[in-house]
């Protein structure tokens, strides 16, 4: 009944005579009680009530009508349940290479039962406290638990290798609570600190009994029957192998972090970088394997809230010198944005309790009053002076409000940020570089770190938990053979003629020196616009234009040496004014008779107005643009000019390179010149983790030429917040098919669709829904039934490939990355489905991450060799560089297009009150997605997004 505000009452010991009233769960009445009343444990709470004969007949009639009406849909859904099987025993083309993969074989006993219990702890504690409760419970009750040492996920799930004496158990656990705040990262506590005791009630109920027979069948790949992956048993083993690491590390998703892996590093802006490791159980051809990899992420620095805000917000840098200052409305919003969801603790008294930031108080600290226990009103500033002998310094700043329902105030200057919190804010460029450097190791070093984790004191083999469940984890990485595919011969231009080039044998890069792009464009009408810049920087512009035109000419791109109008020099603040910026761009377009081919923009520095510039140019004015920073003009090296020329050429309609031997000649069994193929890519980008209302953005791209297949058009849409399934896929596919038919004069015989950004848990849903959407898009054309191949491209995985130093053939690059073209489709891949790892690029820094391709649907019936060769060849046709890229270009282009759509949305929303309105609605349900602006007709057929 305590109404009080700050300070909160101390944590009181739990009263033994407290009467609990467990909730009684009654089944809700339903139309079909005989189904809803049946529980998952093969027993029912209420006996099933039989349906009448008339009801049964009516139900049968309705079902038969539904089947007749939707027979095509049912048929498609049934087919989509099963992902494509591997068409053969794997590929055979390419030079064999010995490799190591960071998969550690896990042997399990399929006869070993695992008993799954549900755990309810009252009052509900955080994860670290829940684990301490479980540990003490096991220590104090060995007899009742049959001497078992169960594994606990910190929430609801408890797994034991033996069955407890009763299926329903209740315990009361007295847990000593350290009053002083514990260091999450360091793991050290002061000796002799005061302790209090808190009582928890723990209810443990048996949920199910699991065994490994289904997993054994799934891994054995025996027979033709499709066996689903036993997720529950696999999850139980995963919890078992995380038990010991979680006791010593900070767990975030599937990764665990600890200072013992190299300490923390200050990366600036109130954040620290921390090393850790990722681990995940995977079903593979060799059996069950534990994938372990190095992981690095940013955490909030455990410092005072005011110090944190000083590091994050420029307008608070001089706060100590201006203690009397207050916050404007705009500044308040910025502060709330930085503190959103952060957990803090107080420094004016010893307390273990953590509080989650909710909002800032409307009043400043000086004007805050609260009601004490006896109902008297106290002024907050005077209360702290009387009770804690502390004189609040920053009286014109608001307090932190830490409760949704009642006033509960914490003065900013007395709050500290809790350790162990993942940094959710957007990292700056400098912070990103420092984090990437922490996680960038040469292959030999990364391999040593991973081996050290697996066999070290915080890894999955520590603590003896695996042995209790009859699990044996290999000490060594998996050895396997990969294959290095031959690079394709490429086609470049040479003064109107065609010349061929073979990429270098090491990094597969090729040079444009002495050669032209395969399809150069002529740019007669272009303009230059400058934003900001010092007089010295502006003096570089004539030389820059001259050098760029010369480089374009050398590459077979005809860029007029004279701009259509004199270069326009504008102050940098024009980028802050959307109306003024649009007026300036429209004026340039009118001055060139609305026929401008390219707008080249120079910027003094990176500016948020870049997003407005792109949106206005591509949706309102109708011109493609290329931006660069003045800092690059002072050092006009050849590589910079080449990159600029390649991007300009692609945006205006040219092509960098093509395959010398076209795809039909490489895969003659399936592909022909007369039956064109379209390659499509799709990706969905979601808003920032702290954004709870902005729409997701989806992009679909498709090739428009055959057999070169190196020009792509795009379509972009916004959709429901964090919705992964593409909602308007059918419409976008049909629009791209129209573009393809206009260019090639016929519809494609086959659609090869690459889907980016899908996790393995979403494979079935994406396949089931998006495959039907693609077919629906094709159905808009009469009698059109193309053969569809649907493949998922994964880049965010943790499988790494290393040269095997024990193989003499690998000694010459033992500390280097695997060569481009390295493909693996055995041992570490799926037991039965059609997937493979392909490292198509050269990793100059750190350790290469191969792309993982998983073919979910294949009506063309590619062999392993054919599809791997197709993907690898496409990786050489990317327009922005002269080397193969890490993922297939359709997926890469879709990612770039989705990012462009995100730019449109973020800047256009920030100009109005859309986000504010959506935020108020977010608790009711996801707000309606703000539509993206339509791309101008002059731009939509170009590769403006690359």
Within a domain: residue 456?
A: no
What per-residue confidence (pLDDT) applies to 392? 96
Neighbour-count burial of 497, counting CB atoms closer than 10 A to its CB (0-12 exposed, 13-18 middle, 19+ buried): exposed
Last residue of a domain, one of 598, 628, 652: 652
- Contacting residues for 433 by C-beta, under 8 A, at least 6 apart: none
Answer whether 80's CB lies under 8 Å from 767's CB.
Answer: yes
What per-residue confidence (pLDDT) applies to 24? 34
Within a domain: residue 625?
A: yes
Structurally, the chain folds into a number of domains equal to: 3
**Taking 80 as the threshold, does the pLDDT of residue 840 lie above it?**
yes
Together in a domain, 612 and 549: yes
pLDDT tier for residue 75 given thresholds of 50, 70 and 90:
very low
Phi, psi of 437 (to 5 degrees): -65, -35
* CA neighbours closer than 13 Å in the CB half-sphere of residue 746: 11
CA angle 666, 671, 675 (to 5 degrees): 140
* 123 preceded by a cis bond (ω within 30 of 0): yes
Within a domain: residue 31?
A: no
pLDDT tier for residue 587 given thresholds of 50, 70 and 90:
very high
Within a domain: residue 248?
A: no
Within a domain: residue 680?
A: yes
Answer whether 197's CB lies under 8 Å from 176's CB.
Answer: yes
Together in a domain, 874 and 781: yes
Together in a domain, 524 and 412: no
Q: Would you give the DSSP letter of residue 723? A: -
The more confident residue out of 692 and 295 is 295
Span 11-34, mean pLDDT?
Answer: 38
Q: Is 602 helix (H, G, I), strand (E, B) or coil?
A: strand
Within a domain: residue 626?
A: yes
Last residue of a domain, one of 627, 652, 677: 652
**Taking 70 as the threshold, does the pLDDT of residue 299 lie above it?**
yes
Name, of 23-27, 187-191, 219-223, 595-599, the range with top average pLDDT: 595-599
Together in a domain, 633 and 690: no
pLDDT tier for residue 478 given thresholds of 50, 70 and 90:
very high
- What confidence tens digit (pLDDT) does each residue in 613-639 have? 999 999 999 999 999 999 999 888 999
Together in a domain, 538 and 636: yes
CA angle 530, 534, 538 (to 5 degrees): 50
Together in a domain, 692 and 626: no
**Closest to 130 in 3D by CA, of 173, 170, 168:** 173
What per-residue confidence (pLDDT) applies to 52? 42
Together in a domain, 573 and 625: yes
The per-residue pLDDT of the chain, averaged, comes to 87
Span 568-578, mean pLDDT?
Answer: 96
> Which range has the worst mean pLDDT, 350-364, 574-588, 820-834?
350-364
Q: Kindly state the helix (H) or strand (E) to which residue 684 belongs, with its residue range.
A: strand 677-685
Together in a domain, 609 and 672: no
Q: What is the pTM of this model?
A: 0.88
Question: Within 10 A of 107 (CB to CB), how many other CB atoms are there?
Answer: 11
What is the 3-state secondary structure of 472-507?
A: EECCCCEEEEEEECCCCCEEEEECCEEEEECCCCCC
> Which range has the worst mean pLDDT, 221-225, 660-664, 896-900?
221-225
What per-residue confidence (pLDDT) applies to 730? 97
Within a domain: residue 481?
A: no
- What confidence tens digit (pLDDT) does each residue in 789-831 have? 999 999 999 999 999 988 777 666 666 899 999 999 999 999 9
**Closest to 679 in 3D by CA, of 835, 892, 506, 861:** 892
Within a domain: residue 189?
A: no
Together in a domain, 537 and 642: yes
> CA of 776: how far to CAs of 81, 703, 730, 859, in Å?
18, 19, 6, 16
The beta-strand segments (E) located in 317-366 are 343-346, 355-356, 359-364
Together in a domain, 865 and 749: yes
> Which range has the worst mean pLDDT, 35-39, 445-449, 799-803, 903-907?
35-39
What per-residue confidence (pLDDT) applies to 909? 52
The more confident residue out of 500 and 570 is 570
Together in a domain, 583 and 684: no
Please name every residue paired with 284 in a beta bridge, in sequence order, or none if there are none. 287
Q: Would you give the DSSP letter of residue 819? A: P
Please give the residue range of the domain that contains residue 394. 305-417
Together in a domain, 881 and 761: yes
What per-residue confidence (pLDDT) applies to 360? 96
- Contacting residues for 531 by C-beta, under 8 A, at least 6 apart: 570, 571, 572, 574, 575, 601, 602, 603, 604, 607, 609
Domain CATH number, residue 368: 2.170.260.10
- What confidence tens digit (pLDDT) does each residue in 765-779 have? 999 999 999 999 999
Answer whether 185's CB lies under 8 Å from 19's CB.
Answer: no
Concatenating the DSSP letter of every residue in 114-168 gives: EEEEEEEEESPPPHHHHHHHHHHHHHH-TTTTTT---EE-SSSEEEESS--S-SE
């Amino acid at each position: 009944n305590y109404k009080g505000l700050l300070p909160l009452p101390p944590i009181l010991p739990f009263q033994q005579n407290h009467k609990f009233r467990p909730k009684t769960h009654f089944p809700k009445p339903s139309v079909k009680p005989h189904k809803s009343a049946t529980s998952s444990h093969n027993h029912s709470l209420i006996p099933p009530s039989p349906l009448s004969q008339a009801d049964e007949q009516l139900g049968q009639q309705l079902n038969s009508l539904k089947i007749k009406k939707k027979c095509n849909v049912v048929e498609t859904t049934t087919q989509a349940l099963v992902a494509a099987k591997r068409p053969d025993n794997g590929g055979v083309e390419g030079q064999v290479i010995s490799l190591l993969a960071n998969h550690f074989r896990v042997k399990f006993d399929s006869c070993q039962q695992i008993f799954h219990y549900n755990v309810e702890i009252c009052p509900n504690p955080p994860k670290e406290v829940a684990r301490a409760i479980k540990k003490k419970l096991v220590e104090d009750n060995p007899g009742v638990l049959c001497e078992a040492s169960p594994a606990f996920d910190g929430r609801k799930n408890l797994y034991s290798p033996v069955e407890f004496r009763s299926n329903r158990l209740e315990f009361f656990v007295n847990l000593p609570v350290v009053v002083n705040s514990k260091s999450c990262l360091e793991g050290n506590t002061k000796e002799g600190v005061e302790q209090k005791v808190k009582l928890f009630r723990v209810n443990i109920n048996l949920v199910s009994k699991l065994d490994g027979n289904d997993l054994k069948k799934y891994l054995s790949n025996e027979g033709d029957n499709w066996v689903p992956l036993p997720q529950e048993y696999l999850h139980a083993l995963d919890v078992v192998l995380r038990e010991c690491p979680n006791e010593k590390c900070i767990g975030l998703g599937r990764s665990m972090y600890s200072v013992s892996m190299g300490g923390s590093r200050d990366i600036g802006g109130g954040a620290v970088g921390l090393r850790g490791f990722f681990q995940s159980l995977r079903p593979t051809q060799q059996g069950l394997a534990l994938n372990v990899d190095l992981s690095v992420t940013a955490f909030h620095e455990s410092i005072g809230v005011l110090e944190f805000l000083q590091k994050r917000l420029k307008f608070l840098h001089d706060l100590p010198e201006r203690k009397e200052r207050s916050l404007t409305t705009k500044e308040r919003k910025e502060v709330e944005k930085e503190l959103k969801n952060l957990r803090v603790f107080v420094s004016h008294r010893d307390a273990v309790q953590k509080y989650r930031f909710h909002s800032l108080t409307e009043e400043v600290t000086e004007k805050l009053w609260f009601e004490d226990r006896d109902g008297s009103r106290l002024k907050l500033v005077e209360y702290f002076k009387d009770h804690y002998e502390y004189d609040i310094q920053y009286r014109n700043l608001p307090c932190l409000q830490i409760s949704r329902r009642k006033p509960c105030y914490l003065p900013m200057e007395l709050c500290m940020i809790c350790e162990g919190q993942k940094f959710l804010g957007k990292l700056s460029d400098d912070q990103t570089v420092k984090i990437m450097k922490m996680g960038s190791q040469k292959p030999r070093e990364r391999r040593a770190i991973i081996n050290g984790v697996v066999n070290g004191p915080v890894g999955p083999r520590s603590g003896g938990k695996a042995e209790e469940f009859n699990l044996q984890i290999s000490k060594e990485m998996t050895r396997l053979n990969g294959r290095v595919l031959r690079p394709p011969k490429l086609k470049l231009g040479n003064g109107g003629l065609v010349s061929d080039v073979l990429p270098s044998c090491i990094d597969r890069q090729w040079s444009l020196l002495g050669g032209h792009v395969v399809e150069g464009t002529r740019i007669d009408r272009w303009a230059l616009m400058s934003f900001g810049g010092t007089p010295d920087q502006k003096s570089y512009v004539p030389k820059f234009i001259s050098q760029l035109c010369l480089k374009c000419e050398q590459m077979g791109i005809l860029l007029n040496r004279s701009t259509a109008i004199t270069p326009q020099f504008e102050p940098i603040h024009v980028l802050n004014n959307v109306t003024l910026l649009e007026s300036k761009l429209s004026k340039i377009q009118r001055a060139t008779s609305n026929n401008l081919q390219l707008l080249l923009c120079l910027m003094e520095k990176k500016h948020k107005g870049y997003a407005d510039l792109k949106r206005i140019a591509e949706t309102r004015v109708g011109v493609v643009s290329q931006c660069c920073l003045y800092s690059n003009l002072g050092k006009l090296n050849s590589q910079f000019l080449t990159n600029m020329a390649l991007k300009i050429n692609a945006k205006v309609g040219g092509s960098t390179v093509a395959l010398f031997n076209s795809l039909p000649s490489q895969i003659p069994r399936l592909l022909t010149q007369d039956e064109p193929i379209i390659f499509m890519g799709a990706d969905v980008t979601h808003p920032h983790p702290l954004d709870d209302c902005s729409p997701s953005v989806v992009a679909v791209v498709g090739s428009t030429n055959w057999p070169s297949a190196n020009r792509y058009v795009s379509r972009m849409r916004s959709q429901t917040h964090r919705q992964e399934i593409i909602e308007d896929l059918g419409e976008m596919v049909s629009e791209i098919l129209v573009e393809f038919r206009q260019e090639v004069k016929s519809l494609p015989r086959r659609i090869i669709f690459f889907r980016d950004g899908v996790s393995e848990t979403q494979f079935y849903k994406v396949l089931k829904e998006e495959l039907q959407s693609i077919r629906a898009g094709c159905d808009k054309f009469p009698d059109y039934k193309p053969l569809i191949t649907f493949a998922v491209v994964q880049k965010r995985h943790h499988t790494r490939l290393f040269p095997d130093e024990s193989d003499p053939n690998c000694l010459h690059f033992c500390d280097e990355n695997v060569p481009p073209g390295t493909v693996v489709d055995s041992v570490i891949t799926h037991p039965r489905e059609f997937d493979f790892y392909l490292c198509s690029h050269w990793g100059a820094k750190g350790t290469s991450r191969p792309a993982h391709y998983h073919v979910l649907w294949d009506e063309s019936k590619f062999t392993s060799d054919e599809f791997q060769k197709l993907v690898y060849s496409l990786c050489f046709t990317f327009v922005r560089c002269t080397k193969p890229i890490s993922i297939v270009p359709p997926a890469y282009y879709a990612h770039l297009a989705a990012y462009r759509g995100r730019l449109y949305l973020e800047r256009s929303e920030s100009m109005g009150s859309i986000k504010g309105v959506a935020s108020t609605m977010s608790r009711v349900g996801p707000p309606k997605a703000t539509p993206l602006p339509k791309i101008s007709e002059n731009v939509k057929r170009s590769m403006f997004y690359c």
